[in-house]
Structure 1
Amino acid sequence: MGVMPLIILVSLVVAGGFVIAFVVAARGGQYDDTQTPAMRMLFDDEQRRSRPQQAEQATSEKPTTIHHNLHGRVR
């Protein structure tokens, strides 16, 4: 039973560390923007659809080149 006060003390120190970490994060602005992550999910599809079109345009404008690595294999 002599270990119980030590365990309680260690658990209070760990809990205090978590409280301090939370306060530092909250003051640093970690939790300021709670609306954007929920809204980002709604607009994600539009960005994914436009990326392949942009990639096709970018590849059609650039000349094709073949790169060889050190082993002579084509990338």
Structure 2
Amino acid sequence: MLTSVVMLIILSLFLATGVWLVFLWAVRKGEFDDAERPKYRMLDEDEPAPPIEEIENGPKQ
């Protein structure tokens, strides 16, 4: 019984260390820099569509 508890504690410490390392990696890569921007992205204006001739014939040369 005691060995299972010790093994579970060690396993949970390894898991917590892994989660902490992934969190630190995400912070260093800038994943949490701008958490508010994605919800406003749908309000941005879209780029205008190219003319139909360009779609049918390809880009002008």
For this pair of structures, how many residues does the alignment match?
Answer: 57
Q: Show structure 2 runs of 5+ residues with no match.
A: none
Identify the residue that residue 54 of structure 2 maps to in structure 1. 58
Runs of 4+ in structure 1 over 3 Å off: none
RMSD: 2.3
Rg comparison, structure with higher value: 1
TM-score, normalization by structure 2: 0.67
Q: Show structure 1 runs of 5+ residues with no match.
A: 64-75
| SS of match in other structure, 2:46 | helix
TM-score, normalization by structure 1: 0.58
